[in-house]
Structure 1
Amino acid sequence: MASSSMIVLLVVVGGVCLAGSSNAFVPSSTTSSYNSNAMRTSVSVSSSSPLQATKSLTIPNIPNPFQQLPWNVEKAQRRTARKLKLERSKLHRELGIAEDATYEQILVATQLLTERAEGDKKRTIQIEVIKDKILQIRLNERLAGLMSDIVTKDAKAQSGFESTGNALEDGLLEAKAEQAKDKGWNAPAWTNGLIVKPDQAQIKGQVRLWGILSLIGLALPPFIQYSNRFTWLVCIAQLSFRGMPKEQLEGGGIAMSFGGGPGSKSHIKTAWVIGLAVSLAGAFLTYGLMPEWAKGQRMTPFCVYTMRNFLYGTACCYFQPYKNK
């Protein structure tokens, strides 16, 4: 009896041990759920990380180095002008007006269409929007430098008084600028009107004359030696001719500048004095002040010749012995 009870006890204990050992190898629900969540998280992270990297990656905006070239800028302006013109033409057709309609005509057409569509609120708003777009396009054309005669007329029609005021103001500014310009170029009193500001024609003529002589001296070095004998006479002739009316120059020729023409000209003596003084000053500046090392160089005669021509040209530009009374 005792032995049978011991056997039953051993069987019970062994069953309990087997149950415990089997549970040790089976994962709990908490552990399995944690592992599954971890796997889902890792999969989601791994799947979303390339997208996030793509979103964070920004492509740098590289400017076009050829965009500011003159022909590209002109092409862009033509493209903008064509686009604005097409859009403006379409809007003008919707309002039933011509493309060269003035600001007042646009207002009249807008008011007429608004009265016709008095009961249609949507159409009224559409008409006002079209009018505003037309005015905005014309403003954009003015800002883009595409101003036409139509825009100019519109601007004058919208602000006639302002345009008149601006014109008067511009006239006053121009007068003040001319006055300041003349005041800045007034020669000293002791010159007695001998120094006169040269105009563009006078400057271009002197640059052309003395520049050609200098280029001939550069191309033909022997020409310099012979040219130095008569360039001072050319300077005197230029000084004598400057400021004289055309009717006095006709028929006199080169003889007039040396006093051989009809009528003795008192300014000829002044021209001779100035020409000789400039020639002596040029000789002193070019030869007397030249360093010893520069006198034996190959290009020295050309440099000296060019400097003297520059002095002659400057004198002929600013000195005017003739006084138009």
Structure 2
Amino acid sequence: MASTASHQSSTANRQWRLRNRPVGIVDGDTFELTECPVPQPREGEFCVRLIFLSLAPVMRAYIVDGGVIEERLPIGSVMRGRGVGEVIASHHPGFAVGDIVHGPFGWQDYAISDGSGRVLKLNARVGSSSLALGALGLTGFTAYFGLFDIGRPTAGDQVLVSGAAGGVGSVAGQLARIAGCRTVGTCGGRDKSRWIVDALGYDAAIDYRGADLASAIREALPDGIDIYFDNVGGALLEAAIDHIRNDGRIVVCGSISQYLSGEDKRGPSNYFDLVYRNARMHGFHIYHYENRFREAEERLATWIEEGRLAPAEDRRSGFETMPEALRGLFESANFGKCVVQIGDDPLA
């Protein structure tokens, strides 16, 4: 017999479903809001009431071409995405009512899971459950493994982070500071440039919208770049390669500048410069580190408790705002990890 939380009250499950594939940024015709009954778990399953839903630029790839490792989302399907929620009913021995879990639950109020598909429990309780989508979830884990395992920072290294005001970038820059590095971030607009310095502790900021990239990098990092944490790709990646130091490391994490480019996707034209500088460019995918997620969660939680890591969160409210919030990522509207709250948070 399933255990069930007493506070479950809604009988409707709202869902955002894919209606059309966008050309360019997502718009009002991309998704359709629907409702269905709240699902009930069968043997070996549990039901999650979603509290926060995550937004990331790669979501556009899910609905256009699937991205690198995902299949393209079929028309009519619930929009793909991670969320964090509370288990409210369970027929699963590994998940109890009251557990806070995060996983690929989709854009909906309630989801059924059997625990597969990389559903994780939030073990560290150092703040809102939304941290499971940010600093204490895949976003934080990506910054952690990308910087420490691939970037391999040492004190005094000169670090450049692109997309510094985004989810991963806002964590990566702070971790580089913890490692004793000098950190410079790129972002769009004067407000964000001030914010990453004042709120995140970056030593300097480069506004890519108003700057000649080569000149701006030379001014901010006159001795060159030891580690470039790349979330953007495109022209910024090429500019970073031009300024990489001997034995430099480029962490290839994302390529938001290419997500809207259609067929015009290309690699850096100056990649062979890495040979002359004995530098390396290393891509990675976060799920390859799945057996070490607990390590990352514990270390990140410790730094949060010590006040050395400040989770940066751009929180919206209301299930109906999901498409608009996704669009905002491509308009550089977010400051930190973008999440949308759709339910009450028991950890608040």
Say yes or no: TM over 0.5.
no
Higher helix share: 1
* TM-score, reference length from structure 1: 0.17
Larger Rg: 1
TM-score by length of 2: 0.17
